[in-house]
Amino acid sequence: MPELPEITVKAHQMDKRLKGKRIANVEVRQPKNLNMPVPEFLKTVKGKIINSVWSKGKWVFIRLDPAYYLLINLGMNADLIYFTPKHKLPEKYQFKLVFADNTGFTIQFQWFGYVHLVSEKDLGKHKLTAHLGASPINEELTPEHFEQLLANKKMGIKSFLLDQKNIAGIGNVYVQDILFKAKLHPNRKVSTLSEKEKDDLYKAILEVLNNSIRLGGLAYEKDFYGRRGKFTIDEFLVGYKTGKPCPVCSTPIEKVRTGSTHSYICPKCQSLK
């Protein structure tokens, strides 16, 4: 499942490649991905120009001129891949966008996903993106803001990190190493964290996510050019490493059930105080 690093890498590539291109045509093979009837979608999007592309959490935001946004969510997994007239298109795709210069991109959803078109004035009312929390890789998530988010929360720290309304973009993949680096058991209650633990957790979030961005994201996800990231299973500290020695103390890593998700922990470094 793509998380913040994979979406960030892709949005950055899209921004560089697509800026200034005019939308000439769209093919929709799975209308349920859209938030409006296909004819209305086509009529609205055709002729618009890509102004910029960025990401927030697991969403790609494409700003169109004039005054619209194309909001894409790749769901559990999807290939969103660029093409030029020289490329052979993938056999299967649910969505294809073609620019006036005959380049474009296709999206092949593996499970579900969204391609929503929203006017500038309605952006704040778009239910799925309007309440996204702070993005951890830009200035939005300052240490002060992080502290405020943690204040008065009663849940476990893992549930807090996975809630997209708090921080946007962390999922069950990267949260494993974030908690390990901060030496926190996933079930530790937010209210029991010391100042130092909060500080360590903030640093761990930035370190783990930025490290993956540097490597181009997960090796099982494709970027905008169909290339795989360099973040392989070997890069994880404890994630997906059941039975392997903890990189700090050599205690075997355990896979434990924590609420509705699984967690990979070092039982010694991440003891439940």
Indicate the residue among 141 and 175 with the shorter CB distance to Zn ion.
175
Indicate the residue among 126 and 244 with the shorter CB distance to Zn ion.
244
- The residue type of 121 is K
Q: How far is the CB of 179 from Zn ion (least distance, A)?
A: 12
Tabulate helix, strand, coil % of the chain (nearest 5): 30, 25, 45
Interaction of residue 272 with Zn ion, rule CB under 5 A: no
Q: How far is the CB of 246 from Zn ion (least distance, A)?
A: 3
Short-list 1, 56, 61, CA closest to 168: 56
Task: Give strand pairing partners of 70.
Answer: 62, 117
Q: What is the Cα–Cα distance from 3 to 34, expressed in whole angstroms?
A: 22
Interaction of residue 150 with Zn ion, rule CB under 5 A: no
Interaction of residue 53 with Zn ion, rule CB under 5 A: no
Q: How far is the CB of 6 from Zn ion (least distance, A)?
A: 28
Residues in the interface with Zn ion (CB under 5 A) total 7
What region does 25 belong to: left with phi over 0, alpha with psi -120 to 50, or beta?
beta
Q: How far is the CB of 203 from Zn ion (least distance, A)?
A: 18
Q: Binding to Zn ion (CB under 5 A): which residues in 198-257?
A: 246, 248-249, 251
Place of tokens 């991440």: 270
Torsion of Cα atoms, 184 then 185 then 190 then 192, to 10°: -80
DSSP 252: B
Q: How far is the CB of 175 from Zn ion (least distance, A)?
A: 17
Indicate the residue among 26 and 246 with the shorter CB distance to Zn ion.
246
Indicate the residue among 158 and 241 with the shorter CB distance to Zn ion.
241
x-marked contacts with Zn ion along 73-92 as a string, rule CB under 5 A: --------------------
Place of tokens 């009312």: 125
Q: How far is the CB of 247 from Zn ion (least distance, A)?
A: 8
Interaction of residue 269 with Zn ion, rule CB under 5 A: yes
Interaction of residue 268 with Zn ion, rule CB under 5 A: yes
The tally of CA atoms less than 13 A away on the side-chain side of residue 78 is 26
Confirm if 72 and 62 have CB atoms less than 8 A apart: yes
Q: How far is the CB of 198 from Zn ion (least distance, A)?
A: 21
Indicate the residue among 219 and 248 with the shorter CB distance to Zn ion.
248
Can you say whether the dihedral through the CA atoms of 122, 128, 131, 132 is positive or negative? negative
Interaction of residue 266 with Zn ion, rule CB under 5 A: yes
Chain contacts with Zn ion (rule: CB under 5 A) = 246, 248-249, 251, 266, 268-269
